[in-house]
Structure 1
Amino acid sequence: MTNLSTKLAQREATGKPIQIGIIGAGKFGSMYISQCHRTPGVRLAGIADLSTDRAFAALKRTGCPEDRYDTTGQLSLSEGLQSGKTVIMTSSEDLIAQQDIDVILEVTGSPAAGVKHALLCCEYKKHIVMINVEADVLAGPLLTRKAKEAGIIYSMAYGDQPALIAELVDWARTAGFNVVCAGKGTKHLPEYHYSTPDTVWDYYGFTKEQLVSGDFNKQMFNSFLDGTKSALEMAAVANGCGLSPPSNGLRFPPCGAHDLPQVLKPVEEGGMLEKYGTVEVVSCLETDGRDVFNDLRWGVYVVIEAPGPYQRECFAQYGLKTDKSGRFAAQYKPYHLIGLELGISIASIMCRGEPTGQCQAFAADTVATAKRNLKAGEELDGEGGFMVYGKLMPAEDSLRIEGLPIGVAHGLVLKQDVQKDCGLSWKDVEWSLKSQVVAVRREMEDIYRREFSERRKPVEGTTMVTNGHEMK
């Protein structure tokens, strides 16, 4: 990526800046807004948000110069494009439909909105950066296919952890290493699974001044804490990198950066992984609540294995932190800057024609799991709420049990009781294909159920061994 800034500068010099549309002016969107006016070769054409006050507040709070946006709220999007001013609007479809927009940033955090906007981008031939990991995990395998059919790029968001992990995985494989494990750090203890919006701030150290700044949504932050966001992000990594999720959910082992190669290797090698090529999240807290030394709370990592004695010697010669055997080593990035780095995705799409990470398969899913005993007739309140958290699992397992994805576990009414810590099923709730997001998800499930079934069928003429018996 060493020449992206040069390519952007060339676009600026030729008067052909990339025109960007943002949907959602929350925390992530605000972080990008703070940087885009500082980037040559890029123009923020429009912001679509249901609250125009929130969008104007984001521009003001992040220091966007007033001469760079329409302070009157009177300009049309076409007029804004001609004058070089950002226009605020409420209609996301009008933003996507504008022919001069090049890239759409989907930052709503709503799975239903994300699916809707991705399909509109396919219709109107607009590249899309899906910052909305909830939508990506819910339907990304199908949305990626539809985007390719439409001739557009559907991309992960650089700066967010899944794309940064995908970059490390790509580095490892391009350099000729097998990936043992990849993931990120976070703050987690087992009891956090049951955190609610009423308890979330007890676990964070934010000041009152920070909480009133407008950047802190307690249900969103609770999804970070209760493990849902980690499960979603690791599902996105597994789906984007061809890695496997753990068979029974993330374990969140306490682990500092220096111990990554020792802890995150297979059990048969003295680690805690059930197999090679998986994803995992490490906690910055010991099980008794003490801080982990040299923690990786804000970072991402990849663990690799030396293919042979020569590479193992090189690991030692160049100071890599390895496990005791010297075979396993880790590379990591200690921090991620979220929306402040998002411009790299835009430049990669428009200057190279490449996404910064993209869903490649349906390997992992995130299933809604009860935080407490749930009763028939209750209405689910979604990610980060009082009722469910998301649990990572293999996609085939999710399809087999008809797992209810966390991305649709909002507004659906329970048909029957569900016990605490049990995963929810489509059979547990009232649902309808009249809902676009439900229809898209069920379509994807049908497609992959067939594909998984075909993949399991033996090729004619081959021999299978089952319980010690050969079968033709």
Structure 2
Amino acid sequence: MNIEALLKEADGAPIRIALTGANGAYARTLLAQLLLVPSLHPAILCDLDLEGLRATLSELGYPAERLVLAAEASDAPSDAIILSDDVTSIGELGFDILVEATGNPAIGYQAALSALESGHHVAMVSKEVDSIAGSHLLRVAARNDVVYTLAGGDQPANLLGLISWVRTLGLDIVAVGKSSEYDLVLDPDTGQLSQLDETIDGSGMLDHLDLGTSVTETLAKRAEVVEALNRRATADYCEMAVVATNGGFSADVERLHYPVARTAELADIYSLQEDGGILSAPGRIDVFSALRLRGEASFAGGVFVVVRTHDSATWRILAEKGHVVSRNERYAAIYLPYHFMGIETPLTLLAIARLGLATGYSQARGDTLLAGRAARDLPTGTVLSMGGHHHDVAGVNPVLVERGTVPVGTAPLYVLSFATTVRDIRAGELIAIDDVSGYDPVLLAASTTS
């Protein structure tokens, strides 16, 4: 469809954007793009590091004379960019849409809730917030006649968009998911295999580049080759929990399969076990590690949907054109090998403002919980700190479970962040809210009402 026609600019003032976590990596990509979209104005930028934020804005080419501190906002011109280090203050300033990108579960939730309750739209970047309170925030938005949505450009929104495209076409979905953030890159000349800045001897992978007659055996052998690499990230689980809940999917296994897969194999791997694949049932969500040879294009943390082929002749024609169809012609993979972060987000913001449309569904279709199992023994008094690029919770493995299959009181993973254990927890135990103290009760309440 013609997006320009759909989102054509109407007369009137630019759409005013408030952005929290404004000096983060995602925010930078959005701020860079907003310079190219005149109908969107970054009216309020909030971050604890105002000095760093000013430096970022200078690098991007924002005029210094347009930057105004929140304390001086009352006298600011209409094209001013107001800077604040207090997320609670932005409600007093004028904006149309909040883009929440702090990545902090408690702060992000409060910012989003306040915006919705005061009649402002919210585009959520902080998947940590949505994994806990997404369903609740959708209901708050509906009560206040505003839009709450995931921000396009990150995998959850992109995958939900692809799912809606597939469902509209009437195709039968078997599996959905994404690739992990970093590819596994094999150099066939040296046998070295790299993941980001880690390199191992991957010569054993050369014997398993083809799926062979047994998909499960080949995947097991590939997994052995890369056993030394940490391929699992909490962020992956969080993103898939968001999609599972909003889109109505569930994990096949709570720690996800994480197969080492080449793009051309997705339809074979994510088929049902009875057809030689890894799935016990349809409607599953998963993450794979993209394996490619040096020089081949990356999957780039993109997203995919595997569907049943409704007419073998149709899909045989498509396979001849290079589309990914399983060897038995019963399944096909449809995928977007990209996620452009803030570069894409303006489309979400325009869709909210012009059409009142969200990237996902207006109410949750599933009931998946992102929970945590102790990765090691956790003595009483252990602080479950959260940090790192992927917002891992120290000492805790993320798992995706259905709420109805686990004990009442099982804690959402990010409610556990920075809480302290009140009993000895053994490795492998599912952590309950009664096992910790120092959690945010407001955040917990939002999760239970989700």
Bucket of the pairwise TM-score, normalised by the shorter protein: 0.7 to 0.9
Instruction: Provide the rounded CA distance (Å) in 1 between the counterparts of 2:70 and 2:146.
Output: 31
Deviations 1:297-352 (A, max 9, x none): 52111111112345444534654221111121111111211122111110111111
Determine which of 126, 131, 134 is the counterpart of 1:132.
126
- Give the match's secondary structure for 1:58: helix
Q: How does 1:182-221 map to 2 (within 5 A)?
A: 182-186=176-180, 204-205=196-197
Determine which of 400, 405, 424 is the counterpart of 1:397.
405
Deviations 1:406-430 (A, max 9, x none): 1111221111112223321113112
Q: How does 1:204-353 map to 2 (within 5 A)?
A: 204-205=196-197, 226-284=232-290, 296-309=299-312, 311-316=314-319, 318-353=321-356
Structure 2 counterpart of 1:465:
none
Instruction: Provide the rounded CA distance (Å) in 1 between the counterparts of 2:337 and 2:352.
Output: 25
- Conserved in 2, the CA contact under 8 Å of 1:284 and 1:292? no
Identify if the C-alpha distance between structure 1 residues 46 and 351 changes in structure 2 by more than 3 Å, giving closer, same or farther: same
Identity of aligned residues (%): 25
Q: How does 1:167-178 map to 2 (within 5 A)?
A: 167-178=161-172
Determine which of 65, 69, 79 is the counterpart of 1:73.
69
Q: Which has the higher strand share?
A: 2
Instruction: Provide the rounded CA distance (Å) in 1 between the counterparts of 2:112 and 2:99.
Output: 10
Instruction: Provide the rounded CA distance (Å) in 2 between the counterparts of 1:327 and 1:280.
Output: 20
Deviations 1:180-216 (A, max 9, x none): 1111001589xxxxxxxxxxxx96429xxxxxxxxxx
Determine which of 27, 32, 37 is the counterpart of 2:25.
27
Q: CA deviation at 1:374?
A: 0.8
Question: 315-324 or 297-306: which moved more?
Answer: 315-324
Identify if the C-alpha distance between structure 1 residues 442 and 240 changes in structure 2 by more than 3 Å, giving closer, same or farther: closer
Instruction: Provide the rounded CA distance (Å) in 2 between the counterparts of 1:114 and 1:235.
Output: 17
The one-letter code sitting in structure 1 at the alignment partner of 2:344 is E
Q: CA deviation at 1:113?
A: 1.3
Instruction: Provide the rounded CA distance (Å) in 1 between the counterparts of 2:38 and 2:239.
Output: 31
Q: CA deviation at 1:88?
A: 0.5
- Conserved in 2, the CA contact under 8 Å of 1:365 and 1:394? yes
Deviations 1:148-204 (A, max 9, x none): 111110001100001111111111111110111111001589xxxxxxxxxxxx964
Structure 1 counterpart of 2:101:
107
Q: Does residue 439 in structure 1 map to residue 435 in structure 2?
A: no
The one-letter code sitting in structure 2 at the alignment partner of 1:134 is E
Q: CA deviation at 1:43?
A: 0.7
With normalisation by structure 1, the TM-score equals 0.79
The one-letter code sitting in structure 1 at the alignment partner of 2:37 is T
- Give the match's secondary structure for 1:76: helix
Q: How does 1:81-96 map to 2 (within 5 A)?
A: 82-96=77-91
Structure 1 counterpart of 2:201:
none
- Give the match's secondary structure for 1:349: helix
- Conserved in 2, the CA contact under 8 Å of 1:187 and 1:285? no
Q: CA deviation at 1:401?
A: 5.1
Instruction: Provide the rounded CA distance (Å) in 1 between the counterparts of 2:327 and 2:441.
Output: 53
The one-letter code sitting in structure 2 at the alignment partner of 1:422 is E
Instruction: Provide the rounded CA distance (Å) in 1 between the counterparts of 2:332 and 2:402.
Output: 26
Structure 1 counterpart of 2:367:
363
Deviations 1:251-288 (A, max 9, x none): 101111100000011111211011111111011359xx
Q: How many residue pairs are counted as aligned between the two chains?
A: 403
Structure 1, gaps ≥5 residues long: 190-201, 207-223, 445-472
- Conserved in 2, the CA contact under 8 Å of 1:371 and 1:387? yes
The one-letter code sitting in structure 1 at the alignment partner of 2:397 is Y
Structure 2, gaps ≥5 residues long: 184-193, 199-229
With normalisation by structure 2, the TM-score equals 0.82
Instruction: Provide the rounded CA distance (Å) in 1 between the counterparts of 2:322 and 2:195.
Output: 37
- Give the match's secondary structure for 2:392: coil
Identify if the C-alpha distance between structure 1 residues 352 and 390 changes in structure 2 by more than 3 Å, giving closer, same or farther: same
- Conserved in 2, the CA contact under 8 Å of 1:242 and 1:363? yes
Query: RMSD between aligned alpha carbons?
Result: 2.7
Instruction: Provide the rounded CA distance (Å) in 2 between the counterparts of 1:321 and 1:367.
Output: 34
Q: CA deviation at 1:45?
A: 0.4
Q: CA deviation at 1:44?
A: 0.7
Structure 1 counterpart of 2:422:
415
Determine which of 402, 413, 423 is the counterpart of 1:406.
413
- Give the match's secondary structure for 1:410: coil
The one-letter code sitting in structure 2 at the alignment partner of 1:58 is T
Instruction: Provide the rounded CA distance (Å) in 2 between the counterparts of 1:443 and 1:7.
Output: 34
Q: How does 1:374-389 map to 2 (within 5 A)?
A: 374-382=378-386, 383-389=391-397
Instruction: Provide the rounded CA distance (Å) in 2 between the counterparts of 1:116 and 1:77.
Output: 22
Identify if the C-alpha distance between structure 1 residues 251 and 188 changes in structure 2 by more than 3 Å, giving closer, same or farther: farther
Structure 2 counterpart of 1:453:
none
- Conserved in 1, the CA contact under 8 Å of 2:182 and 2:196? no
Deviations 1:95-150 (A, max 9, x none): 2343x411000000011112111210122110000111001011111111111111
